[in-house]
Structure formats: structure tokens, C-alpha cells
Structure 1
């Protein structure tokens, strides 16, 4: 689903990503773990086609990036919520659903399914400007899933989400993974990283290690120690 080869991303004289190479298969949840400023968000933006790599190649769903061709099959939840504040949650979902080609009964069904999943189905008459930060994150996740993408990029998706709902989210991620959806999830939360099938450990724009949570725990003693090692690098 994703094939990244020797990618470098620079802005002027500042290099953000250096020699990054990895791949993600169908039906795999991959965690992107690293300190703030390590290049995680820049990498995600390059993967979805918002940035053109300075060097190297990125293929997403078989299409070389940047390109709009794979976008209808991609879901993206950014670190900052991109919502229409004056609209309700239902109106936001309807707008984005139509952008992805959903119409009529199917659109109405997906709106209700997504609102129920993120536990906002009782908050449909309130405009988003009156939502808490956690509610906005939940709506952003619903929007990223509205069109049932093949591949989804989540940048710090559970910040501000209570533990019980966070567990519901991860149960759904695993269910969708088992149906073949691919995930790349950026996170700072150690216990969340353990829910991933594989972790990419990023530091100073470099991929310094990769493997299953079990492998990294064997190498470093714990996921937290692996994270601290990335910070030292």
C-alpha cells in the first residue's frame, strides 16, 4: 500500500527527513513513534501528496506521489482539526462525504454510522464551535473514515480522548485492519504504540529502527525506552 525509498525532505537549507525507506502492506497498522520535531508530520504530508520529496520516491496505492489519483481511497486526520466551526457535526460529515462522492441513502447511512462510532450521535444539533477539543478530535476521525478508505493516515488521533472511548477506537482500528485497511498512525502514547503491528522509530528525520512492539521491547527493554533512545539520537 505504501512504498517509500530513500526519501529526503528539505526546506531551503533545513533538512527535515533524511534517507527514509519503509513499506506498509495491506491490512497492517504501523505506528510512527518519535519525539516532537522528529519529522513525523512532514512524512505524513509527503505520503498524502501535500509535499513533493526533495529526493527519493513515494508510491501510495501504486501511484507515485504527489498525485491526486489515490485521494478518494485515502483517509487523513491531521494534527490540527480542519472543521467548519459554524456547521453541525452532521453537516460537516455531509460536506466531506459529498466530496468523496457519497450521495443519498448511502451518505445518510455513513453519517449515522460514523457519528455513532465516535459517540457524537446525541450532539448533532450543536455547531462545532461549541464542541470541546476532544469532541472536535472525534469528529475529525469520523470525517477521515466517512468514505471507507483503503488506507488511512492518523496524526496524533487520540489526543484529548477519554480512555474508554480510546479503547473503542482501537477495537475499530483492528476490525478495519482485519478487513484489509492499512493504517499509519503517528503517536507519542506508549501504550497505543503497543496496539500496532509494527513501529517505525523516527529521530531527527531518520528512521533509526523498526519492528513489532515485541521486537523493540526485546531490544530496548520497553517501548518507552525505545522512545527515549530516539530522543537521545
Structure 2
């Protein structure tokens, strides 16, 4: 299969502090790939470099066979940051319309994408409200809708379900599965929720700026003789970096 995302020998330092150390990972097209790890492990820094918002101190990143950062990739990458970048003085619909206009969507397509994304995140009845009046969970949902607005090939979601109720979390994951299976989207998601990690095709477990281990959830549990991914994480933390199974 084609590689959608390739990270090769990436390290990142801020001053004397190294936050990522020699990261290698490959995300195949049409895969849901999970980056799992606690807060402060380096997941968000890595995600920002894949999107092109930051550059590595060492190593390189490619998305869709194009070296990052590159202007041509913006149309093809949907990004949901951990902190919501919204315009609170605008309504939900005005936020979606603004971001859709950045991607030069035609009027009819813009209308369709706004309706689809708002419905997906259960915000249709709240689109006329100002975002300043939204709850934290509603803002997360709007951020996810914005990440999907231009129908990107690659979706990069940083903790997309934090602060979202369980029922909606399930429906969002069902839609991510549909986007993968029916539309061939590539989805890279960071999470610290282990039941979400189970839904990923492949995982990389990250701690203190290093990849502890990677593989499918099934491969990882078998390799570490573990009954859960929590166990895998604990066992992998006590051994050398392992790349389990085929890449």
C-alpha cells in the first residue's frame, strides 16, 4: 500500500530540551493510526510537524509523498488541534463558512459540506448561535467539523473526543471508520483513551519523546503477552523500542 505519512529520524529540541528523539513511523493510506501516550509525551509536537506547523530539528516528514511543509498539502490535510482555534464572536455556521472559503469550495459544495459536517457532530440546531455561547464539548465538535470541511485525504486529529459525551464519541468513531472504509481516508489520531486505541489499525506508543513500540493492537498484545493495551504500555516502557509485526 502507498504511504500517506512518513516520519524518518525526526528529533525536536526547544533550546536544550529534547522533546522528540529519533522518531520513525509510517502510516499507510486508508489506515487509522493511533499515537498513544500521556500528556507531555511529545504527541502534539509530532502532530504539528506532520501538519507543517513546526519543523524538526533533525529528520524529515512526508505527507502524500510530498516533503512537509508544502503549500499544496493544505487542501489535502484536515487538522484538529488540541486547543480550539475558533472565532467566538461568529456563529457556528459563520465559522464553518469562513474555513470553507479558505479552501475555495464552490457555493453548492460549501453548502453541502457545512450541512454534512454539522450533522456529523450534532451541531445543526446550534449553527446560528455564537460560538462564545458554546460549551467546551460543542467547541470540540465544531473544530472536528472544520477539520473535515474541505473533504481532505488525510485527517490529523489531536485528542478529538476530549470533553465529548460517550454517545457522540461513539458516533464520531463510527464516522471515522466509515471515512476509512468507504472513502479511503487516512486518519492519524492522538488519544490517551485505550478503548479508542483498540479501534486503530496500528498504534505507536509514545513516552518522553520516544516511540516505545508500534504495531496493531492484536500484535502488541500477543508480543507482550498482555491482556490489555494498558499492560502493553507498562511492559513496553521497561524494554527497548520494538516495532512489532509488519510496518
TM over 0.5: yes
**SS of the counterpart of 2:49?**
helix
- Among 83, 90, 94, the residue aligned to 1:91: 94
Verify: 1:221 aligned to 2:221, yes or no.
Answer: no
Paired residues for 1:19-98 under 5 Å: 19-98=22-101
How many residue pairs end up in the alignment? 233
Q: Provide Cα deviations, 1:166-189, integer angstroms capped at 9, x if missing partner.
A: 111111101111121101100010
Compute the TM-score of the two structures, normalised by the length of structure 2: 0.91
- Among 108, 114, 123, the residue aligned to 1:120: 123
Whether the 8 Å contact between 2:212 and 2:237 is mirrored in structure 1 is: no
Q: CA deviation at 1:77?
A: 0.2
- Among 180, 187, 195, the residue aligned to 1:183: 187
Q: 2:11: which partner in 1? A: 8
Structure 2 segments unaligned to the other structure (5+ residues): 240-247
How far, CA to CA, are the matches of 2:133 and 2:88 in structure 1?
Answer: 8
Q: 1:158: which partner in 2? A: 161
**Which has the larger displacement, 65-74 or 126-135?**
65-74
- Among 130, 135, 148, the residue aligned to 1:132: 135
Higher relative contact order (Cα pairs below 8 Å, separated by 6+ residues):
1
- Among 144, 148, 153, the residue aligned to 2:147: 144
How far, CA to CA, are the matches of 2:210 and 2:117 in structure 1?
Answer: 36
Q: 1:105: which partner in 2? A: 108
RMSD: 1.3
Verify: 1:199 aligned to 2:203, yes or no.
Answer: yes
Q: Provide Cα deviations, 1:79-107, integer angstroms capped at 9, x if missing partner.
A: 00000001111110000001011121110
Compute the TM-score of the two structures, normalised by the length of structure 1: 0.96
Structure 1 segments unaligned to the other structure (5+ residues): none
